[in-house]
């Protein structure tokens, strides 16, 4: 009957037709609202997924672009001094079994690897050195003073270079004190660790 002559219809039939037309319009309107609603949701879920991907990619890129060579992370077992008889996977070590922390700041005496690792686990930077002249040592002392709650500086005879700067899973080596590169290493790598507590 739709589209035909409604003059020949009874009042009841005309009312039924109007009701059917209203129901069709209502269903059509409901479908459009649902489509819009789901399209809106899908759009925002897509935006969220893209944003999450971007953040993860940016974090990965930032991690890759940090100064220093990446070193695979070893376990974080807590041990007593002298208990570890294994070999660390870098020299000096950048992670691994460790004992209590070393004091922050400059030390004129060697500190144990097991103690320094504890500091870098807490987000600190360990600068170790050997065979440096007094002026170079003084420059390292100044770096330690400027970063008094996040840097440990100490001599270390087992270094393979004159200066080694480490953070958790990161190592940079120098043949002399390069204050600018060391400062960049500290800024970029401080608190990139399992327990970031350095200040």
Cβ atoms of residues 128 and 154 within 8 Å = yes
**Number of folded domains in the chain?**
2
Are both 37 and 84 inside the same structural domain?
no
Are both 163 and 101 inside the same structural domain?
yes
Cβ atoms of residues 106 and 139 within 8 Å = no
Cβ atoms of residues 76 and 88 within 8 Å = no
Per this entry, what is the length of the chain? Answer: 199
Are both 105 and 121 inside the same structural domain?
yes
Residue 129 has pLDDT above 70, yes or no: yes
Are both 76 and 164 inside the same structural domain?
yes
Are both 83 and 54 inside the same structural domain?
no
| Residue 17 located in a structural domain | yes
Confidence (pLDDT) at 56: 59
Confidence (pLDDT) at 1: 47
The three-point CA angle 116-183-96 to 5° equals: 25
| Residue 36 located in a structural domain | yes
Coil/strand/helix, residue 186? helix
Buried residues in 155-164 as b, exposed as e (16+ CB within 10 A): bbeebeebbb
Cβ atoms of residues 136 and 175 within 8 Å = no
For residue 105, the 8-state DSSP code is E
Are both 115 and 37 inside the same structural domain?
no
Are both 60 and 89 inside the same structural domain?
no
The C-alpha atoms of residue 152 and residue 116 are separated, in whole angstroms, by 8
Are both 108 and 169 inside the same structural domain?
yes
What is the strand order of the sheet 151-155 is part of?
Answer: 69-70, 170-174, 163-167, 125-129, 151-155, 105-106
| Residue 3 located in a structural domain | no
- pLDDT digits over 148-185, tens only? 999 999 999 999 999 999 999 999 999 999 999 999 99
| Residue 25 located in a structural domain | yes
Residue 121 has pLDDT above 90, yes or no: yes
Are both 41 and 118 inside the same structural domain?
no
Are both 131 and 172 inside the same structural domain?
yes
CATH number where 171 lies = 3.40.30
| Residue 194 located in a structural domain | no
Coil/strand/helix, residue 85? coil
Confidence (pLDDT) at 42: 80
User: What values do phi and psi take at 147, rounded to 5?
Assistant: -125, 50
- pLDDT digits over 54-96, tens only? 665 555 545 567 899 999 999 999 999 989 989 999 999 999 9
Range of the domain at 17: 10-65
Confidence (pLDDT) at 4: 53
């Amino acid at each position: 009957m739709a589209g035909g002559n409604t003059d020949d219809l009874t009042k009841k039939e005309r009312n039924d037709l109007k009701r059917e037309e209203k129901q069709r319009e209502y269903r059509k309107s409901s479908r459009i609202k649902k489509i819009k609603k789901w399209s809106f949701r899908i759009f925002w879920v897509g935006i969220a997924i893209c944003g999450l991907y971007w953040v993860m990619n940016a974090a990965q890129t930032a991690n890759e672009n940090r100064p220093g060579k990446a070193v695979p992370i070893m376990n974080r077992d807590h041990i007593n001094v002298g208990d570890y008889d294994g070999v660390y996977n870098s020299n000096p070590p950048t992670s691994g079994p460790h004992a209590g922390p070393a004091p922050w700041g400059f030390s004129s005496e060697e500190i144990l690897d097991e103690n320094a690792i504890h500091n870098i686990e807490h987000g600190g930077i360990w600068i170790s050195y050997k065979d440096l002249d007094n002026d170079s040592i003084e420059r390292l002392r100044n770096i330690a003073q400027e970063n008094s709650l996040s840097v440990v500086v100490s001599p270390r005879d087992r270094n393979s270079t004159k200066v080694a700067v480490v953070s958790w899973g990161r190592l940079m080596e120098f043949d002399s004190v390069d204050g600018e590169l060391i400062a960049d290493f500290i800024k970029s790598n401080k608190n990139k660790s399992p327990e970031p507590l350095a200040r």
